[in-house]
Every structure is written in C-alpha cells, then in structure tokens.
Amino acid sequence: MRKSCRCCGGGELAEVFDLGVQPFANGFLTPEQLDKPEPRSPLVLMECVACGMVQLRHVTPAVDLFAEYAFQTGSSTRMVRHFRSLLLESIGRYVPRGKLVVEIGSNDGAALASIPDDRRCRRLGIDPAANLTEIARRSGVPTVTAFFTEELAGQVATIHGEASLIVACNVVAHIDDLDDFCRGVRRLLKHDGAFVMEVPDVDTLLARTAFDTIYHEHLSYFSVGPLATLFARHGLRVEAVEWNEVHGGSLRLTVRHGTGHSGDVSRWRDWRGIVRDWNGFAARCERERDELCEWLDDARADGGTVVGYGAPAKATVRLNYCGIGTDRLACVVDSTPSKQGRLMPGTHQPIYGPEWIDRSKPSDVLVLAWNHEREIVGKLAGYGGRVASVVRPRRGLRKLDM
C-alpha cells in the first residue's frame, strides 16, 4: 500500500479512479493453471495532492510480475524501429567511440541488437526476466539478469565503467523505489552522459480514455512536473521533454547531471494548474464498455464469430473490466510464441498464432492491441471478414486505406 508520493514524498494521496479487483495483466495461464485460483488484486489510482503524480494504491511485489515476462519487444517491428531511432539519435549525440550504452529494462535485447556495428559502442542490457535475458544473450547482446538498483549500478560501473548513455523505455513506471532508481542512474551515468527515458503520459491517458493501460505493473502514471521534482531531488536536471505517439501517448525526457531544469519543463505544461476530470474519465470508460459489449452481442446475434487480435496486457484489462468471457469473444491471436497455447488472464480466451484466422475464417476481427492498429490491419490484407477496433468498434477499420 502506498502511503506517500513516489515523486515528491507528499503524504496526501486522493483516490481518483477504481478499476476493481483484477487479475495480473500479463499473467497468461497455462491450461493446467485453469483449475487453480487465479491471483487478483485491486487497481485503484491515487493522485498526489501536492505534485499531481498519479500512482496505484496497491503495490504488487516486483518478483511476482517480472521474474518471467510475457511481452517481447522483438514481436513488434514498429517498436524495434522506434527504439532503434531513439538509440541511434542518442548515441550520435552522447556516446564517443568505444563508450558504454546501458539499457534498463532491455527485455529480449531487440533494441540494443538493432544498433549497427559501425557505431562502435559497447552495449549492456539489464532486465530481471530470465526468459528474456536468455534470448538477448543468444542474439549477442551482453545482458545482466537483475533488477536495476543503486547497488547493481555500482557493480556495473565497477565492472564495465560508467555509461555515456542510459536508456529506460516503458520501465520507470514499473519501479516502486524511484529514489533508489535515481541514485542508481546518478551512480552509473558519466558526468557528461545522458539518461533518456520514455513513459506513458497520464494526461494523454485521460484525454484518450486509455483505461486499459492501467494495470498492476504500472505503478506510476507520470506527467512532466512530478518527474522534474523527482530528478531535482537527486541532483539530476531535465534537459529536454518531447511527446510521441508510442503506447497511445508517451513522454521522452532527456536527463543529465546538474541542477536547474531547462525551459522545456516549464514550457511543457503548467502542471500545477491541471485539474484532472476523473469523473468525466470514469463516465467515458463505462460508455466504452457498454458500446463494446453491445457490439459483441450484436455480432453473436448475427451468428458471427469474433476473434481478438493481439494479447497485450491492455487486452486483459479491457476484457476483464468489460466482463467479456469466451461466450462473447471466442479466442485471441497473438504473434508472440510464449503467449500462444496459453489463456487470457481472468477471461480465459485461448491464445493462438495469427494463422488461426486464415484457417478458421471468423466473421470479425477485433483489434485488441489498438496501439498497433496499422501494423495489424496491414497483416490482415488477405482476410475477407470485417475488422474493428476495440476502441469504438462500430466505426470499423478500412483495410484498403492502410
């Protein structure tokens, strides 16, 4: 249970949104696990009254979530392309020849592996998921299987030297002790190096009703202000703030040693003035839920079969929040081998490979991984049925436009 704010230490946290008691979003079940009780825990969002940081009330122990991890970066060519361009740009700017690039939360190593040899930097991945670090090492990316802590940062610095560049994409929101994390970054980062991080942006989450990105792994829902407060407490300065479309809206911060943030931080948003409309958000979530259930019921009434495309964590949240069982959605397909043969947490749809669609010819495909809509619709070129998005399914998706 969180008693104080992770960014500013403030003790007053107000409850703003309750998603109910939910299974773990990446806890894909084996058929044998179906008979056993499934772990569940509450998903309640709190907002810090002092700094506006949004965080989960209940903190699930990290080992329960990350010792084995289902999501594989390499499964999305678009994501690999995105991380590659982030790395190449940052290496060009901050990493002299032969110097060290560290990725925290390096997953299967796909991003580090994408750096061309002619860049001549040393690479090191850090990730706690043994199933993924093994894949990374097999693909030639030196990788440590561990959680990133201040202690680990010291060990890495002793063995490999300090890093000219540290990147951390979609991982900082997973970390409970951000003070220890920041001390680790400070310890490992060279005096003239840069730390580049990406996290989903909470204000875009609200604006786009992306409630399905709220799950146990995401302990924090960041905006620029609270992050700037956090880094300032650790002698780190935010040099640049950018926004991009990744995961439905993400912030990229470039952080260096020093004090006094750049003008980007104050220009970004007068975050102290933001009053978030959580009631409006909750009403929109309920409306989306009702629309999706009606659409699925109509498809079934027409005698159709609907298959979900993509089994990301956000599919688990949406299916469970909306109460969509196997009666409404027959099964889900996903290209990640480790998810195939398993079942969706809570709602128990079986997960098959995408070729299942060609074989079984369902009447409708419902894109659950809405942030990969374009890539998925592109892959459905040969499929003759209807394609819809889990967000506003009635709108449909036109394959020819893609």
Could you list the residues that contact Zn ion (CB under 5 A)?
A: 5, 7-8, 10, 48, 50-51, 53
CA–CA separation, 127 and 144 (whole Å): 6
Q: Which residue is listed with tokens 């893609």?
A: 402
Distances in whole angstroms, Cα of residue 240 to Cα of each of 185, 237, 253, 322, 349: 17, 9, 6, 38, 43
Q: Does 52 bind ligand TMP (CB under 6 A)?
A: no
Q: Listing from the earlier edge strand, what are the strands of the sheet with 40-48?
A: 13-23, 40-48, 54-56, 220-221
Q: Work out how close the CB of 42 gets to ligand TMP at its nearest, in angstroms, rounded to a whole number.
A: 22
Partner from Zn ion, ligand TMP, none contacting 312, C-beta within 5 to 8 A by type = ligand TMP
274: number of CA atoms within 13 Å, CB side? Answer: 24
- Smaller CB separation from Zn ion, 122 or 276: 276
Name the one range near ligand TMP by CB under 6 A: 105-113, 293-301, 370-378, 393-401: 370-378
CA–CA separation, 307 and 340 (whole Å): 14
Question: How many residues form the binding site for ligand TMP (CB under 6 A)?
Answer: 17
Q: Work out how close the CB of 36 gets to ligand TMP at its nearest, in angstroms, rounded to a whole number.
A: 24
Q: Work out how close the CB of 228 gets to ligand TMP at its nearest, in angstroms, rounded to a whole number.
A: 27
Paired tokens of 170: 């979609």
- Smaller CB separation from ligand TMP, 215 or 231: 215
Contact letters for ligand TMP, residues 331-350 (x by CB under 6 A): ---xxx--x-----------
Q: Does 376 bind ligand TMP (CB under 6 A)?
A: yes
Q: Does 316 bind ligand TMP (CB under 6 A)?
A: no
- Of the candidates 115, 140, 143, the one whose C-alpha atom is nearest the C-alpha of residue 129 is 143
- Smaller CB separation from ligand TMP, 104 or 367: 367
Q: Work out how close the CB of 391 gets to ligand TMP at its nearest, in angstroms, rounded to a whole number.
A: 13
Q: Does 76 bind ligand TMP (CB under 6 A)?
A: yes
Q: Work out how close the CB of 62 gets to Zn ion at its nearest, in angstroms, rounded to a whole number.
A: 21
Paired tokens of 335: 């290209």
> Are the beta carbons of 365 and 295 closer than 8 angstroms?
no
Q: Does 216 bind ligand TMP (CB under 6 A)?
A: no
Name the one range near ligand TMP by CB under 6 A: 42-50, 82-90, 271-279, 375-383: 375-383
DSSP alpha helix (H) spans, 212-312:
224-232, 263-268, 278-301
CA–CA separation, 77 and 379 (whole Å): 12
Q: What is the DSSP string of 79-102?
A: HHHHHHHHHHHHHHHH--TT-EEE
Interaction site with ligand TMP (CB under 6 A) = 71, 75-76, 79, 310-312, 334-336, 339, 369, 371-372, 375-376, 379
